[in-house]
Copies of this chain bind each other. A is one copy, B any other.
Amino acid sequence: MTSTSPLNIALIGFGTVGSGVARILSTQAKNIAVRAGREIRISRVVVRDPDKAREFLPAGVEVSTSIDDVIDDPQIQLVAQLIGGIDPAFDYMKRSLAAGKDVVTANKALIYAHGSELFERAAANERTIGFEAAVAGGIPIIGAVTQALTGNQILSLEAILNGTSNFILTRMLDEQHAYADALKEAQRLGYAEADPAMDVDGTDAAQKLAILTQLAFSTPVKLDDFVRQGIDGIELLDLQVAADLGYKIKLLATARLQNKRLEISVQPTLISCDRTIAQIDGADNIVAVHGDAVGNTTFSGAGAGQLPTASAVVADIIDYATGRTAVTFQSILRSSQQEPWPVQPAEELRRRYYLRLTVDDRPHVLADITDVLGRNEISISSVRQDETPETDEAGDGTARLVIMTHTTTEGRLRAADTELSKLACIRGASIRLPIAD
């Protein structure tokens, strides 16, 4: 192989992202060939349904439904693995690596669940994996953490990594919509899947944060290591009260070194309105990285969508073509050998909290609640009871009580939660959100 021979690649999956990759490779073919130092040629495409009409499919490309056609084709050096989920994506990736092919992918669920095994297999076969598109779409955050900020001990990552949730929260506040209506709108506009569970319950953001945490802190974490909370319990009232108090609520993914322990959480969080991260609206993503040398740097943009995600996949393809991926991947493998940080137990996380309780609208209720908090050593910084609960969909004689606490631990709040839930005056849904300072 000389560096001027074309690079033959296969696309496994030709859906939103796969067809976007084909589109960019065709519209930018000339520039990309210059930057990559060689022509990049899609030689094969594998899909599920061979009969679907496919926009952006390059003329003359063989479309098949069998991965074997790719595995058995010695011309193909690089496989772009662009189908979602674990099965059969995991198997296809293992087989591609075993066949001596390098891989790029946008599949965060797979990298989260089986990244370390895949990386080991790649290393054993002297192959590489590029996965810039797996986190934050078009925002080059993997590159930032693995290349641009390597002179730093990264101290924290704070990020909005799920565009669907951010879109829903933004629309609720801007349009005075209830959660269910904003979710429906997200689905109608194609931001949310038919089954949006992984987006709104924080799973998707947590998977992405886990990938970044491995790279930034060389610490492998699983979903169980996190405090994880979705946005599905958020009411319009919460967003409004928070706004009154100078905060926005965002599904914030945080990994932070604190006293030589790693704190990790994905939770809807109150963030002061004047912080950059609070100002990221709609489906956009942001990652704020605090490094000991560089200080605070932020990276924001489209975290999903056809072309932004494909932009990252294509950058990985070009990096592969130039030989840069080989270097970067070695560096990632070496870094993964570093000593991991111990993960802070969830109970010991220290934050301020926002509590919104639905309570009977009668005397003594506040006394009962503050008594529970007091006994759990949680001190209150402010209390607010909504006198005209316009947003009270129940309209059943309940009131909404909002309590802001001083700094305390997750453990104390959990203990208090248990006691509160037993109080007769507590009715229906309550929510508890941390405040990021």
Residues of B within 8 Å of A300, CB to CB, are: 276, 297-298
- How many copies of this chain sit in the oligomeric assembly? 2
Bound together, the chains give a CA A150 to CA B139 distance in angstroms of 13
Question: Is A32 a contact of B294 with CB atoms below 8 Å?
Answer: no
**Given the contacts A297-B302, A301-B294, A311-B291, A324 and B147 also touching, CB distance less than 8 Å:** yes
Question: Is B301 a contact of A296 with CB atoms below 8 Å?
Answer: yes
Interface size on A, residues (CB 8 A): 60
A34 interface residue per 8 A CB criterion: yes
Write the A385-427 contact mask toward B (1 if CB under 8 angstroms, else 0). 0000000000000000000000000000000000000000000
Q: Which of B20, B36, B132 is within 8 Å of A148, CB to CB?
A: B132
Residues of B within 8 Å of A139, CB to CB, are: 297
Q: Smallest distance from the beta carbon of A79 to chain B beta carbons, Å?
A: 18
Bound together, the chains give a CA A99 to CA B147 distance in angstroms of 28
> Per DSSP, are chain A's interface residues mostly helix, strand or loop, or mixed?
helix
A258 interface residue per 8 A CB criterion: no
Question: Is B138 a contact of A294 with CB atoms below 8 Å?
Answer: yes
Write the A283-323 contact mask toward B (1 if CB under 8 angstroms, else 0). 00000000111111111111001011011111101110011
Question: Is A37 a contact of B295 with CB atoms below 8 Å?
Answer: no
Question: Is A152 a contact of B311 with CB atoms below 8 Å?
Answer: yes
Bound together, the chains give a CA A207 to CA B312 distance in angstroms of 29
Q: Smallest distance from the beta carbon of A377 to chain B beta carbons, Å?
A: 38
Chain B CB within 10 Å — which of A32, A312, A327 has the most? A327
A75 interface residue per 8 A CB criterion: no
Question: Is A295 a contact of B291 with CB atoms below 8 Å?
Answer: no
